[in-house]
Amino acid sequence: MKQIYILATMVLINFGMVNAQDNPLLGTFNTPHEAAPFDQIKTGHYMPAFAEGIRQGETDVEAIKNNTEAPTFENTIVALDHVGELLKRTSGIFFNLLESETNDDLQNIAQEVSPLLTKFQNDISLDPVLFARVKKVYEQKESLGLNTEQMTLLENSYIGFVRRGANLSDADKEKFRGISAGLSKLSLTFGENVLKETNAYELHITGKNQLAGLPEGALEAAAGKAKDKGKEGWVFDISMPSYLPFMKYAENRELRKELYLAYGSKSFKGNEFDNQENVKRIAGLRLEQAKLLGYKNYADYVLERRMAMNPAGVYALLDDLYQASYNVALQEKKEIQEYANTLGFEGEIMPWDWTYYSEKLKVKKFDLSDEMLKTYFELNNVVDGVFGLATELYGITFKPNKNIPVYNDEVTAYEVFDADGKFLSVFYTDFHPRASKRGGAWMNDFKGQWKVNGTDSRPHVTIVMNFTRPTETKPALLTFDEVETFMHEFGHALHGMLANSTYPSLSGTNVYRDFVELPSQIMENWATEKEFLDRFAKHYQTGETIPAELVQKIVDSQNYLAGYLSVRQLSFGYLDMAWHTLEAPYKGSVKEFEESAWKKVQIFPVVDEVCMSTQFGHLFAGGYAAGYYGYKWAEVLDADAFSVFKQKGLFNKEVAASFRKNILEKGGTEHPMTLYKRFRGQEPTVGALLERSGLNLN
């Protein structure tokens, strides 16, 4: 039935029976800055728009192939970069909403359309006529007089065709098609399963005596959840604003364990949402794809186009940081174990004890807790502070515009302007958890940036969070971790909003995956600077500016558990590399594979009921396969880069202008190390990161 529906839609379009009057996705958006008309779009509009987008894209491709003129940079390479504009626009809207405002209908459409989109991409990259034209231009590259950005686009285009199978035999091209279609559907299913597992769980408590230790804010939020569900008492779930306070403060160890196991066992229960087979199938198909293209494993394939260059480069970074971190982590665990024992705890600290006792020790050592800080981080004030930092550094300003449609009442849309008043971007913020939104935090764009015919087409950028909600008596008060998360995603947003490239595929965050986290992670550094915090961190009731001694406690505690946090990140990197350096399909236990992969960095006993791989969306439903190490690599970059601001001034206009010009505006127009050295004057070293973290390699 699904295929019949798709074919019927295409027939209607081909005969002119579906048009812009019936479907807002098919016409010009009559909105400010041609922003997506969310208030007009209905679920039934997507498939016709996808079908028409594919049809138009195929027409674009045929025009390139049938061009009787000799292949040139403009009529082949640039033309290919602009193929399928309607399809890109529709995809940008649909797949963003699939993550942040999903439902069963959208998920069904995603399963229908993903094979069609994969086929469309394969039809381009596996077309011998198109590749011949691209290759002809590429072979003449030294004589074409191209500038740096043009040369990058040409090289990316040629290499992209090769890496997507253009040189394969006809038989192997068919294999490639099957593999890529399978990966597309499996990744969607993986993410859907994790979201459904997350939404399926709740911890309903009716006895107040079971909630000892929990702060008033957490109790009020849980009572609000219960009320929304028509239940008495309190409801906790495994969204981060609900889960984390429970793990930090709840005295009831059995309930902490229950919640931990629910969180850690997502899609690992052998039920309809189980991802164990999906993990093995995804890893296996990626390996098969890599081998088809001549690589021994998927990591070799991916890392060829990364700053790390190969698995050896990744392992060198991970191993260096392991040497600096592991013994420190063991000492931290020993300290917390001994502290817990002084409070009457018996036995070995388990993962469901760690957050609880480490938080108690943090309060004892630094007289600091989330509850002490949250009162100074009211969400609206934090928004003003973060936006104000961008104004101070880059001169940009943010103006809410209620005439720009939004997809949920909780979303705010802004116009962003440069210092000279020039329009830069539409910017959406979406802060709180919903059942229709996947967990975590991310930045994306509904529309990218590019230049064509003398016009700079500006981006439409979004950041999506899962932050603590307001309650009946309190506004949304953020934890310090949430403030840092906001700044992280806002850094990504700046990368998108300040984009200043000519070609869409090189613009904004279209950079090497192990470079994309630099603009985000560098922003987090300002969060511990008193000079910045004084601008917005004010008590939500009294208006008092955050006291200097409290900021100093944040600074003093900054490296608390630095060893543990480092090995935790390293464990994810080692797990990622294990799955993607496989040279033969893995048929065994996902749990056993996982435990073997990260054994050297684990400091807790194995818990049989939990599994990371089955919920690791970055790897199996996102773009970080063979690239999770990039977070640690970006820490090296951001610590090194921020040291320039520390040396020359937190709000130094010259340093900010250089970072904007050489990093944020350039996107993927040049190799990232070239861009970084142009800003920094040298290659980065691990020294700044180790110094900031209080770790060393000795």
Catalytic amino acids? Answer: 489
216 sits in which H/E element: helix 216-228
| Residue owning tokens 């604003």 | 241
Strand partners, 341: none
CB 509 within 8 A of CB 492: yes
The answer to whether the beta carbons of residues 663 and 499 sit under 8 Å apart is no
| DSSP β-ladder status, 442-447 and 423-430 | unpaired
d(CA 649, CA 656): 10
Contact call for residues 561 and 330 (beta carbons, < 8 A): no
In Å, how far are 50, 59, 102, 174, 179 from 55, measured between CA atoms?
A: 9, 6, 26, 22, 23
Helices H / strands E in the chain, number of each:
28, 9
Q: For 472-531, what is the HEC assignment?
A: CCCCCECCHHHHHHHHHHHHHHHHHHCCCCCCHHHCCCCCCCCCCCHHHHHHHHHHHCHH
| Six-digit token string for 15 | 């005969």
DSSP string computed for 339-374: HHHHTT--S---HHHHHHHHHHHHHHHHS--HHHHH
Which DSSP letter does residue 426 get?
A: E
End-to-end CA distance of the chain: 64
Give the residue carrying structure tokens 């690589």.
295
Q: Are 343 and 364 in contact (CB under 8 A)?
A: no
